[in-house]
Chain A
Amino acid sequence: MNHQPFEELIFAGTELSLEDGLRLQLHLQSCEQCLALAEAWRQVETKISTSSLVEPAPGFSTRWQQRLRQDNMRIQRRQSLLVFAGGVGLALVFLILLALTVLFAYDSPLEWLLTLSNRLVVIFTLAETFQMSLIILQSAIPLGWWLSAGVAVMALCLLWIFSLQKLALNGRHPS
Chain B
Amino acid sequence: MEQNQEAAWVSQALKGDEQAFAQLVERYQRPVFNLCYRMLGDEYEAEDAAQETFLRAYRGLKRYDPSRSFITWLLSIASHYCIDLIRRRRMVLIPIEALPGETLPDPALTPEAAVRLGEDQQQIQRLLATLNPIDRSAVILYYWYEYSYEEIAQSLSLTESAVKSRLHRARKALAGAWQENKTGSEKAVKRTRHESPAF
Contacts and interface: CB of A to CB of B under 8 A. Distances in A.
B143 A7 contact: no
A51 B120 contact: yes
Interface string B5-44: 0000000000000100010011001110110011000010
B175 A11 contact: yes
A65 B172 CA distance: 42
A56 B18 contact: no
A44 B26 contact: no
A13 B171 contact: yes
Contacts of B143: 45, 48-49
A55 B118 CA distance: 12
A71 interface: yes
A61 B172 contact: no
Contact-residue bracket for chain B: 35 or more
Contacts, number: 101
A40 B172 CA distance: 9
Interface string A30-44: 000000110011011
A47 B123 contact: yes
A131 B29 CA distance: 46
Contact of A7 (B25, B127, B172): B172
If over half of B's interface residues share one DSSP class (helix, strand or loop), that class is named, otherwise mixed; here it is helix
**Dominant secondary structure at the A interface:** helix
A63 B25 CA distance: 10
B22 A64 contact: yes
Interface stretch (B49-57, B60-68, B92-100): B49-57
Nearest to B143: A48
B53 to A, nearest CB: 10
B78 to A, nearest CB: 13
30 contacts: A8-B168, A10-B175, A13-B142, A37-B179, A40-B178, A41-B175, A41-B178, A43-B178, A44-B127, A44-B171, A44-B174, A44-B175, A47-B120, A47-B123, A49-B143, A51-B144, A54-B38, A54-B117, A55-B34, A56-B30, A56-B33, A56-B47, A57-B43, A57-B112, A60-B26, A60-B33, A60-B50, A63-B47, A64-B55, A67-B51
Given A11-B171, A44-B175, A71-B55, 18 more contacts: A7-B172, A11-B168, A36-B179, A44-B171, A44-B174, A48-B143, A49-B143, A53-B31, A54-B37, A54-B117, A55-B29, A56-B29, A56-B47, A60-B51, A63-B51, A64-B55, A65-B22, A68-B55
